[in-house]
A and B are shown apart, each in its own frame.
Chain A
Amino acid sequence: MAVVADAGTLYGLLAVGAGLATGLAGIGAGVGEQGIGAAVVGVVAEEPGFLGKGLFLMLLPETLIIFGLAVSLILMFAWTPFAGIVTP
């Protein structure tokens, strides 16, 4: 197998990938929460008792970040096996 890069560069690329995974997932979750948040504020203005449920609904898209984070963790900790395949 061709050596694409040395171990340090590869590790750097993995770190960038991990960062993108969490970061982009965060943006996605933010976009999702934007609509929910606006709607919840609207409902709470009418009916303050909805605050608890509203806060909870706000949290639903946050699972996306967790998925991104899971991918990041896998990337970061899968470093050793990857290095084993790629380094000469």
Chain B
Amino acid sequence: MLRPVNMSRVVVAGSKDVISPVVEKLHELRLLHIVNYNGNQPGFEIGKSIGKSKEYSEDLIKLRSITRYLDLKNKAPDKTFPESQILSEMDNLLNNVGADVIATYERITAIEAEVKSKQDTIRSLNPLAVLPLPLESYHGYDSLATFVGTVTSPVDADVARVSPAHEIYTGSAKNATQVAVFVPAEKASEVSAVLSEHGFSETSVPKLEGNVASAIAAQESSIKSLEAEKAPLLKKLADIKKQNEDLMLATDEYLSMQTQKTEAPLRFAVTENAFIIDGYVPSDQFSRLKNELESTTGGKLEVSLIADKEAEELVEKGEDIPSQMDNPSVVKPYELITRLFAIPEYKEFDPSLLIFVFFPIMFGMILGDVGYGIMILLILLGLKKKFRTPGWQQLINVVMIGGVWAVIFGIFYGEIFGPLGLWNYAIGMLTHHEMAALQEAGLFFGEGVFGSLGRLGPLGVFPLYRLATNAVLLLIGVSLFIGVVHCSVGSICGIKTELNYGEKKHAYFERLPVMLFQVFFSIALLGLVMGQSILTYLGIIVVVLSVVMLVMGPEGPMGLAHVPSYISNLISYLRLLAIGLASVGLAYAANQLAFYVIMPMLSGGAHNSAEFSMLAIIVGIVILVAVHFINLLLGILSPFMHPLRLHYVEMFTKFYSAHGGGVEYSPFGHVRRFLKA
């Protein structure tokens, strides 16, 4: 569970005339992770594709362009198809339906382009509306220069100065003055210079006729008719999509599978009469692979295992052993978190199980509220039905398990929608009189430590009240404790990983001292807090010892530079308390505001909930719902991201991916989703 599946290096060698049945069988078995042949061995060439490879790829490209026009996204299958149905319907789908889709789509784009150009025309016509000229009088002159545009100050006098023969039309638009200036062509450059002194900025005049208002109206009406043509086309595309969605995805799957099969030999090494496939197979599946392949080909093929020593040499030459994570189904969702960081290398630990243990506890510890936990579970149950792709399902499962822990911690903390929330109504609160009695008996550690439940729960501590001083102190201790355990587990994995790679010095003088340092540093702290000086001294001695070991380690005195980060690693776990406090604080504020400020205020200073007016209750509930909703959103995001960070930064750095990410085991074959087996 903590390690990737054992892999064996195999070689499949056979006669070239059985290459297609072998590919077919391998594809069906989905066992062999093929190592691509790089063409470097003398005497062996890279294989050529078999069968109708070119046709399949062409069809696939055609299909993909159709699905892109339809904006078809991959989704969970609603129905599955037998291959024979795909074969019989593929031609119609690709040619008739496809041509229809492409034509419709192209018409839509053409309409959109035309509408856009008409809108541009309208935009340039608008400023001309203030001038008293019909559109045809702006162009078509040989001996006249025309300037149309806006100016910031009157131009008549200056234009008259440089060109006595002129005609100027002026109209005032919103922010500027629109002018049309007509002068003899030979005066054009002088007039242009004069105009630019007045801040002239040119307006382009569309080559149309008639008056401006009617030209705009004509453009608008043709836009309207174009839009009217577009609407049914869009609907047609949507209909085609709805009708053929599953069939298209199934065809895509079929064609992908066929291309994969026909192009497989490109990854093999071939000679004139034989072919060789290198690859990895999970060790316990080797005999199955061997039997299945050899029985299909009737002895024209040899499947052999490569000895460990030779395999090791191949790895040293740069071959990656694929890793397949192997976890029980409850832990599976947490592989998502591992994968987000890196695939474990073959010799490394697969941390999914550790994440499964720690992550939900951290999530629950931060959120810790029965009400929020149940809300999250309900919301996610809804989402689970809606988002059915494997990635979403995994993510939802991860958060759901966290939600269960949030409920459990909520009971420890005595919170239903925050302290002062429903808990007091549901379970009751300690009276002042009883608190005094506890204080006398020496059992009272500050208000709220015994929580709103008031009675002694397990250990005489729960439910605690997170905002109380003593509860904060207790939770600091718990957070640091979780931190020490978490980091130590990471360090132990780190030591074992280094040993797996045969790096003894790194294991004992780089990984081990970190663990010793962190564990005994916190033991020293514990000694200080509890006043047990023996613990403190023991802690300090081992901390010093571990620092000495670090200096003796591979990094030498430079290793000392990391020491502060080991302490900050531990302090970082205080976020388990801190993020939680922030969310409790907000929930507390919401309840306080609604029950003790808004509701009494709006009902004229009443203190008893029975005296609250209807309005007060409604406004109070609106405020409660709004603030708790915001808090719940934050309450899903922060408790998820912060433990994630604790894993990636604090724990994984101790053991994971020190040697670079691994390669995922992806056996040759295809998972059938839309196709019947």
Contacts and interface: CB of A to CB of B under 8 A. Distances in A.
Interface of A: 52-53, 55-56, 59-60, 62-63, 65-67, 69-70, 73, 77
A50 B448 CA distance: 43
Given A66-B574, A70-B574, A77-B469, A56 B476 contact: no
Given A56-B644, A56-B648, 10 more contacts: A52-B340, A56-B641, A56-B645, A59-B641, A60-B645, A62-B642, A63-B572, A70-B571, A73-B472, A73-B476
Contacts of B578: 65-66, 69
Interface residues of B, number: 17
Q: Name the 5 nearest CB pairs between A and B, nearest first.
A: A66-B575, A59-B645, A69-B578, A66-B574, A59-B641
A52 B395 CA distance: 11
- Chain A interface secondary structure, helix, strand, loop or mixed? helix
B560 interface: no
22 contacts: A56-B641, A59-B641, A59-B642, A60-B649, A62-B575, A62-B642, A63-B568, A63-B572, A63-B575, A65-B578, A66-B574, A66-B578, A67-B568, A67-B571, A69-B574, A69-B578, A70-B571, A70-B574, A73-B472, A77-B469, A77-B472, A77-B473
Contacts of B645: 56, 59-60
Residue with the highest number of chain B CB atoms closer than 10 Å, among A55, A59, A60 = A59
A73 to B, nearest CB: 7
Nearest to A58: B641
B567 to A, nearest CB: 10
A33 to B, nearest CB: 13
Nearest to A67: B571
Interface string B604-645: 000000000000000000000000000000000000011011
Nearest to B571: A70
A63 B340 CA distance: 21
Nearest to B637: A55
A70 B525 CA distance: 14
A56 B642 CA distance: 8
Nearest to A71: B571
A43 B260 CA distance: 32
A53 B341 CA distance: 8
A42 B634 CA distance: 23
Interface string B461-491: 0000000010011001000000000000000
Interface in B565-580: 568, 571-572, 574-575, 578
A54 to B, nearest CB: 11
B523 to A, nearest CB: 19
Given A60-B649, A66-B571, A53 B472 contact: no
Nearest to B640: A55
A66 B340 contact: no
Interface string B635-667: 000000110110011000000000000000000
Contacts of A55: 641
A60 B653 CA distance: 14
A73 B476 CA distance: 10
Contacts of B649: 60
Nearest to A63: B572
Contacts of A56: 641, 644-645, 648
Contacts of B473: 77
Contacts of B568: 63, 67
A19 to B, nearest CB: 14
B503 to A, nearest CB: 28
A65 B581 CA distance: 13
Nearest to A22: B578
Contacts of A77: 469, 472-473
Nearest to B575: A66
A55 B395 CA distance: 15
A20 to B, nearest CB: 17
Contacts of A53: 340
Nearest to B472: A73
Contacts of B644: 56, 59
A31 B417 CA distance: 33
Residue with the highest number of chain B CB atoms closer than 10 Å, among A62, A66, A70 = A66
A12 to B, nearest CB: 17
Nearest to B340: A52
Interface in B559-606: 568, 571-572, 574-575, 578
Nearest to B638: A59
B474 to A, nearest CB: 12
A56 to B, nearest CB: 6
A2 B472 CA distance: 33
Contacts of B472: 73, 77
Nearest to A52: B340
Nearest to A76: B469
A21 to B, nearest CB: 13
A63 B476 CA distance: 15
Nearest to B572: A63
B595 to A, nearest CB: 27
A14 to B, nearest CB: 14
Contacts of B575: 62-63, 66
A34 B574 CA distance: 23
A24 B648 CA distance: 26
A3 to B, nearest CB: 26
Residue with the highest number of chain A CB atoms closer than 10 Å, among B340, B469, B568, B578 = B578
Nearest to B641: A59
A49 B649 CA distance: 21
Nearest to B573: A66
A55 B575 CA distance: 17
